[in-house]
């Protein structure tokens, strides 16, 4: 059974879906005013790894992930940075700031970055969520929810006409982050530290009254023209698409507070029960020793890998070589090394007529159990490396086993192509296997000259390769 580290419980917990056989996951998605960098992508990989592991045990998995395209104040609470915030932008709306600097409509920019996010996920083998709702298209849900929270006495209209959540109206605030209300200090955005529009400094905006100057991303509501606070969109989408019992909620560690803490308070207050069963967070990624940020100028995108000629699945493999709860310092050298390993495994898979009968089921089970054990993917890669290197194991067994494990790994080891036919009972030496794989790649790119060079090379090694409808056929040459 799948076990994951539950941030609220501060322990690794067994994950038992509320509905038997059906796992529901809510994943905090991107704010689409700029590209997601590779550190963000590591977080977005998390629900995919959980889903693949659950699938392997026959579970149905439903993932909902939000697209934040309505903009939000960077820090609605005045309680200080959540960690995801660039310095100097507090209180500004990131979507509108991006629209301003690009001179376009905020939603048009959002669609552009959303498409790039979806493409990056595909390039990393991150399965598409069942629902990918846009905040801008869920405003009525949020308005209804805010109405419910006011009705139930959990929200009020503040001095500035905005609607605020009353943090003191819930008894267990701080369950995820450990930040208790009585210990939270007011932020620095207001003279004296307290926003005069709120009853209590830790209250946060559910709905912000828009200034007259704001003409984009505003909606009419019973509380005037305005726009939603950040946290309310996740509450609204989670309840709409997944219902009142959600097994796992994922996000980056920086979202633990205040985003998830506030989201949890709102959601539970609206429904009247604890809705999310497990909160699971992925750690930060450093690159070449530093936290990636726009101001430091060291943001790395998936596109940057492609520009360097690196298959994005190599990045995925580099992530798998680490534990999602460990802060990792990634480097180009590590990504290059992962790319090399990826090529080697793909070559192994490409050359053999792997069949179900060739699968080393013990190895598959070992890898699956490691995934189930709080996604200890790094250990799984280590055992697979040893397995793939082991010269006593037949190459067809290696190929078939890697291909099956790829359901979990998501490395596209089969290159989405049928395996090369291999009509031989002989054990194929590694150098021959590698040449055959290279020839297969050459033929895929219609490089017939290279294909012929490799055929001749194989002949000198004592192997005859011919081409058939289904792929290459290999035989030992008769002397
Ligand atoms: Zn969220």
Residue 170 has pLDDT above 80, yes or no: yes
Task: Compute, in angstroms, the gap from residue 232 CA to the centroid of ligand 1.
Answer: 8
Q: For 261-280, what is the mean pLDDT?
A: 97
String of b and e for 209-226 (b: at least 16 CB within 10 Å)?
A: bbeeebebbbbebebeeb
Q: What mean pLDDT is predicted for residues 315-323?
A: 98
- pLDDT above 60: residue 162: yes
Indicate the Cα dihedral angle 149, 152, 154, 158, nearest 10°: 70
Q: Decide which of 84 and 115 is more confident.
A: 115
Q: So what's the pLDDT on residue 473? A: 76
Q: Which two tokens stand for residue 279?
A: 């909160």
Please report where in the chains the tokens 């017939």 appear, as a residue: 448
Six-digit token pair at 121?
A: 């996920």
Tokens of residue 431, six digits: 């150098």
Share of the chain above pLDDT 90, in %: 67
pLDDT at 440 > cutoff 90? no
What are the start-end ranges of the H helices in 91-243?
94-102, 106-123, 139-151, 230-242
- With a cut of 60, say whether residue 81 has pLDDT above it: no
Is residue 22 a contact partner of residue 228, using CB atoms and an 8 Å limit? Answer: no
Q: What is the mean pLDDT of residues 198-218?
A: 91
Mean pLDDT of the 262-281 span? 97
| d(CA 390, ligand 1 centre) in Å | 45
Q: Give the pLDDT mean for 288-307.
A: 91
Between 329 and 75, residue with greater pLDDT: 329
Rounded distance from Cα 263 to ligand 1 centre (Å) = 7
What was the pLDDT predicted at 18? Answer: 97
Confidence of residue 145 (pLDDT cuts 50, 70, 90): very high
From the list 321, 291, 373, 315, the residue with the least C-alpha distance to 44 is 315
Calculate how far, in angstroms, residue 65's C-alpha sits from the geometric centre of ligand 1. Answer: 9
Q: In angstroms, how far is the first alpha carbon of the chain from the final one?
A: 55
Tell me the domain boundaries of the chain: 3-286, 420-479
Q: What are phi and psi of 4, to 5 degrees?
A: -135, 155
Range 279-296 average pLDDT: 91
Query: What tokens were used for 388?
Result: 């793939």
Banded model confidence at residue 207, pLDDT cuts 50, 70, 90: very high
Give 246 Cα–ligand 1 centroid separation in angstroms: 14
Q: What is the mean pLDDT of residues 296-324?
A: 95
The rounded Å distance from CA 293 to ligand 1 centre is: 20
Q: Please give the pLDDT value at position 356.
A: 67
Which pTM does this prediction carry? Answer: 0.84
pLDDT score for 334:
97
Q: 428: CA distance to ligand 1 center in Å?
A: 51
Mean pLDDT score, 342-348:
89
Over range 181-196, report the average pLDDT.
68
CATH of 3-286, picked from 1.10.3720.10, 3.30.9.80, 3.40.50.200, 3.40.50.620, is: 3.40.50.620
pLDDT tens sequence across 2-51:
999 999 999 999 999 999 999 999 999 999 988 999 999 999 999 999 99
- Tell me how far apart the alpha carbons of residues 448 and 471 are, in angstroms, rounded to a whole number: 14
Residue 183: pLDDT band (50, 70, 90) is confident
**Average pLDDT, integer, range 459-476:** 80
28 C-alpha to center of ligand 1: Å?
4
What separation in Å is there between the alpha carbon of 230 and the centre of ligand 1?
Answer: 8
Give me ligand 1 centre to Cα 255, in Å: 8
pLDDT of residue 195: 80
Alpha helical stretches, state H, 200-272: 230-242, 261-271
Q: Distance between alpha carbon 259 and the CA centroid of its chain, in Å? A: 17
The pLDDT assigned to 432 comes to 81
Query: Is the confidence at residue 417, as pLDDT, over 70?
Result: no
Strand bridging mode 246-252 / 276-282: parallel
Average pLDDT, the chain: 88
Q: How far is the CA of 34 from the centre of ligand 1 (A)?
A: 17
pLDDT band, very low/low/confident/very high, at 218 (cuts 50, 70, 90): very high
Residue 419 in this model has a pLDDT that exceeds 60? no
Does the pLDDT at position 308 exceed 70? yes
Query: What does the pLDDT read at residue 187?
Result: 62
Cα gap 416→147, rounded to integer Å: 49
- Overall size of the chain counted in residues: 479
Exposed e or buried b per residue across 3-37, where buried means at least 16 C-beta atoms within 10 angstroms of its C-beta: ebbbbbeeeebebebeeeeebbbbbbbbbbbbbbb
Tell me which residue of 320, 478, 322 sits closest to 406, measured CA to CA.
320
Q: How far is the CA of 231 from the centre of ligand 1 (A)?
A: 6
Which DSSP string do the residues of 100-122 spell out, in sequence order?
A: HHHTS-HHHHHHHHHHHHHHHHH
User: What separation in Å is there between the alpha carbon of 83 and the centre of ligand 1?
Assistant: 14
Output the CA 29–ligand 1 centroid distance in Å: 7
Q: Output the CA 234–ligand 1 centroid distance in Å.
A: 5
Name the β-bridge partners of 476. 463
Q: How many other C-beta atoms are found inside a 10 Å radius of the C-beta of residue 477?
A: 12
* Mean pLDDT, rounded, for 55-74: 87
pLDDT given at position 326: 96
pLDDT band at 318 (very low <50, low <70, confident <90, very high): very high
């Amino acid at each position: 059974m799948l076990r994951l580290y539950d941030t609220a419980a501060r322990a690794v917990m067994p994950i038992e879906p509320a509905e038997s056989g059906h796992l529901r996951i809510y994943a905090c998605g991107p704010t689409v005013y700029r590209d997601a960098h590779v550190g963000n992508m590591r977080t977005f990989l998390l629900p995919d790894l959980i889903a693949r592991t659950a699938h392997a045990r026959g579970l149905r998995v439903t993932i909902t992930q939000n697209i934040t395209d309505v903009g939000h104040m960077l820090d609605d609470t005045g309680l200080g940075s959540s960690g995801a915030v660039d310095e100097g932008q507090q209180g500004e709306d990131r979507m509108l700031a991006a629209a301003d600097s690009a001179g376009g409509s905020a939603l048009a920019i959002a669609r552009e970055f959303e498409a790039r996010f979806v493409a990056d996920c595909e390039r990393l083998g991150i399965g598409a969520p069942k629902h990918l709702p846009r905040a801008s298209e869920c405003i009525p849900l949020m308005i209804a929810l805010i109405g419910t929270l006011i009705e139930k006495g959990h929200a009020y209209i503040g001095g500035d006409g905005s609607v605020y959540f009353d943090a003191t109206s819930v008894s267990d605030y701080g369950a995820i982050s450990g930040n208790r209300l009585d210990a939270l200090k007011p932020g620095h955005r207001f003279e004296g530290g307290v926003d005069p529009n709120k009853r209590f400094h830790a209250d946060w905006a559910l709905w912000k009254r828009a200034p007259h100057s704001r003409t984009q991303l505003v909606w009419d509501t019973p509380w005037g023209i305005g726009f939603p606070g950040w946290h309310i969109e996740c509450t609204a989408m989670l309840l709409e698409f997944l219902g009142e019992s959600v097994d796992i909620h994922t996000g980056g560690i920086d979202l633990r507070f205040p985003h998830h803490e506030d989201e949890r308070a709102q959601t539970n207050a609206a429904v009247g029960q604890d809705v999310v069963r497990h909160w699971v967070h992925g750690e930060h990624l450093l690159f070449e020793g530093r936290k990636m940020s726009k101001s430091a100028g060291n943001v790395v995108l998936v596109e940057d890998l492609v520009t360097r000629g690196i298959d994005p699945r190599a990045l995925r493999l580099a992530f798998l070589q680490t534990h999602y709860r460990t802060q990792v310092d990634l480097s180009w050298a590590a990504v290059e090394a992962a790319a090399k390993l990826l090529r080697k495994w793909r070559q192994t898979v490409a050359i053999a007529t792997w069949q179900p009968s060739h699968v080393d089921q013990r190895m598959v089970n070992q890898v699956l159990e490691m995934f189930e054990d709080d996604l200890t993917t790094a250990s799984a890669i280590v055992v697979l490396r040893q397995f793939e290197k082991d010269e006593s194991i037949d190459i067809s067994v290696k190929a078939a086993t890697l291909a099956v494990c790829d359901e979990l790994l998501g490395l596209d080891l089969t290159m989405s192509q049928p395996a090369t036919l291999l009509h031989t009972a002989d054990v194929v030496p590694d150098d021959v296997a590698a040449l055959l794989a290279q020839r297969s790649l050459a033929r895929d790119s219609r490089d017939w000259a290279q294909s012929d060079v490799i055929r001749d090379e194989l002949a000198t090694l004592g192997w005859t390769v011919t081409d058939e409808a289904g792929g290459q056929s290999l035989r030992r040459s008769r002397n």
